[in-house]
Structure 1
C-alpha cells in the first residue's frame, strides 16, 4: 500500500534529517514510527503525502506516484497534523467534519452520515454543534481525526494523535485505530512518543535515530533492543522496563517480553516467560 524510497529526507532548506530510508507498508498494517524530538517522524509523514520531496527517490501509495498532496488524496491517503489548529476549518465541530465529505461531492445525507459516524468513533458526537473555538485542545485533536475518518481513507497518517488527550481518550483512540486496521483494513502510520500505547494499536514499530532507521519489526522485538532505544532517546513501555529489570534472564529477541499489564499477568501464570 505504501512504498517509500528516499536517499535523503528532510526540509528543503536544511540538512537531511534521515538518509537511506526504505519503507514498505502492507494494506491494513498498523505501523508506529518512534523516535526522539527531531528524529524525523513528522518529516517522514509529510514526505508520504507529498508535502516534502524525496530527492533521488519517491513515494507510491496504492500504486500511485505521489508528488503532491493532491496525488496523496487521490490515492486515498489522509494526514492528521500534530497541531489541530493547523487543520480545523469549520465554524462548528460538525461543519468541520462535513468539510471533507462535501468536497468529495457526496450527497448531503451521505456526507452527514459519515460525519456523525466519525464523531461517534472518537467519542465526541455530543459536541457536534459546539463552536470550534469552544473545544479543548484534546477535543480539537479528536475533531481532526474525525475529519479524516469521514473521508474514509485507505491510508491514514497520524502525527502524535494522542498528545493532549486524557487517559480515557487515549485508550478510546487506540481502540479506534486497532478497529480501523483489523476490521476495516485501513493502513495506518502513526508517529508517536507514547510508547506505552504502541502495543495497543500497532503491529509493527519503526525506530528512528541518528538520522536513520535503527530498527523495523514487531514492537516486542524493537522494544527488546535496549541499546537502539537509547540511541533513539526512547524507552520501553513501563511494563516491559520493569519486567526487564526484574527478570534474572534478559529476554532474547523480544521473546517473553510483556508489553502490557495483561501480558505481564499472563506471563506470571505460565512457564513460557
Structure 2
C-alpha cells in the first residue's frame, strides 16, 4: 500500500515507518526539515518536505495514498512561546488535515488522538484532541477514520529529571497509590501498523496503553533505576505547580492547561472513557522504560 506518515521521524513515526517499510509498503514521510530527507530515505521511505499548516502541500502529499497517518505537532519550544495559543494552533493543523484529506480524495485515515479526546471539559491542554476528532468527523461518510487514543507517554516522565536533581523528588499536583495507564511510543507504532493492515469501516476509536502503575510505583521504579532507592513522589498544590511552570518560562495558558490535565487524572474525567473501553496492554513495561530514563538522567 501507499502510506503517508506525518510526524517526521519522531518517537512514533520513526518506528512506524521502519515497520511499514519492512512489510513492503511504499511509505512517504512528511517532515518540515530539509535535513531530515537523508534520514528518511535511509529508512527506505520517500521524504516530502513541507509543513502541516500548508493545505496545498498536504493535499499534494496525500494524493494517491491508500492510507494517511495524521497527527498534530508544533515546533520544539512551543510550550514556552508566550504568544502561542497551543490549543488553537493544534486545532488549526487538524483543520488543514481535514481539507487536505477531502481535496486529495484519501478514503482511509488513521488519526493520532489522545486520552481525554472524549470531552472538551476539564481536560486542560488535551482539549485540542477533542476539537480535531470532531473536525475530522465532519468529513464525508465514505472517508473511514480510525482514532488512536494513547494514554500518557513514558517519555513525558523525562520532565521529572529536573525536580529529582534539584529537589530530590518527583513533584506534581497529583500522586498517591491509584494506578493510571502509561504507554510506550513503540507500542503505539506497533498498534498503528497493525490497524493500517486491518479493514477500514466507518469511524472507530482504539485506546493504547502499555502498563498501569501508580505515581508512588513510578517513583519507586525510576528511583531504583537511577540509583536513588526511596525516591518519593511529592504532591504540591495546583497553585504551586503553576507558579513553578511560570517561573520556568512556560506560556501561562499552556501551563494552566497542564495543571488542569493533571487534576483530571484525579477527579475521574481523564480516564472515564478509557476504563469503559480498556485495551489489552502492550509489551513495553515501565521497568523497560526505566532503563532509558536512567540513561538520560545520567547523561
Query: TM-score w.r.t. structure 1 length?
Result: 0.30
Higher relative contact order (CA 8 A, sep 6+): 1
Structure number with the higher helix fraction is: 2
Query: TM-score w.r.t. structure 2 length?
Result: 0.28
